[in-house]
Chain A
Amino acid sequence: MVKVFVNGKEIDVDVESTLLNAIVKAGYEVPTLCYLKGIFNEATCRVCIVEISSGRLVPACAYPVSEGLKVFTDSERVLKYRRAIIELILASHKIKCQSCSMKGGYCQLLKLSKDYGVEGIPVCSECKLYGSECLLARGIPCLGPITIAGCNAVCTNEYSQCIGCRGPVSRYDVLKEGVELYVKYGIDVNEVLRLAELFWSSLPIIDTLRGLLRESKSGGKA
């Protein structure tokens, strides 16, 4: 048995354990994607990285314990890098993935995206992939920049404005960027608000959106 410290908490573990075993035993959690007990522990996804006392970041699923080792599962660097890795994975994934309802609504990747605030890619990204001309550029109000993607941009591909039926993006920074686009193309903010209230009037995000649009109208922080 060896003694290790997980987030400051002392715990005794088997000498053959990995950091992941120790972390779980100590009652903490570390996300994993590629790890499958007894079958795959080659540490290729790097999502389970944790910080050890030397400052190095190591994968918890494949790193052995040693006497006196200190592990930190949620240090600033760990969280930042984990988020970056999830962003990278999503960047090479089908955008549709982010609102998949299969797998019983449970997908480890989607859960991680939400936990780390990486979800919420707007329809704009999907629309660009199809190369359609941007409706905003023609002065037509379109909710694409602030609606969550996953529909293959069916409406905008047919030159019909996006009316936000899939729901708004939940991330503030994405909302803000969307509002900036409206300002850039000189879209009437009232039009945008009218469209948004169609499906989103009962959602809390509508107030945030109203606030942002109002600011932009008065030449504010947008």
Chain B
Amino acid sequence: MSVVSDVDTVISNILNRYNSRQYLMRILQEVQSVYGYLPREALEKLSSIMKIPLSDIINVATFYHQYKLEPPGHYVFLVCMGTACHLKGNQDNYNVLRDALGIKEGTTTSPDGLVSVEKARCFGCCSLAPVIMVVSRDGSERYLHGYVNIQEARKLAFKYRGLASSKKKSGG
């Protein structure tokens, strides 16, 4: 899955609108909204066109949490790590999700590449703690689940894995 489509076209489209160093954050956000993450090829292209050292771009890309350097699953679980959610046991939910999806230590995506589980900063929906948000890779779908306990978490894991699987089959 390392073929990244149309890097040249995508990059030049973005650079037509933002073409100087000061817009780097926005450029990276646009690249990520196209691919769901920041492919290495895209960063290298940016570096050579904008004449910014690649290390500089990677500095920014790795500093901010939002940027992903690896392709995420078709669905991404964002487990809120806010105070209220933590106190109500979201850490357990996080562990259960990873266990149910077979995600190995050091990675965030299931081995079949279908679903990712990540820790997210507070969404601000503390009254529904513990909160887990599920987003589709392209960001078009957003589902917020509240009051999640460990059984619910396990069910969600299988539900979205199923959905991701059908998405993958239909070429989504």
- A–B contact (CB under 8 angstroms): no
Interface residues of A (CB under 8 A from B): none
Interface residue ranges, B against A (CB under 8 Å): none
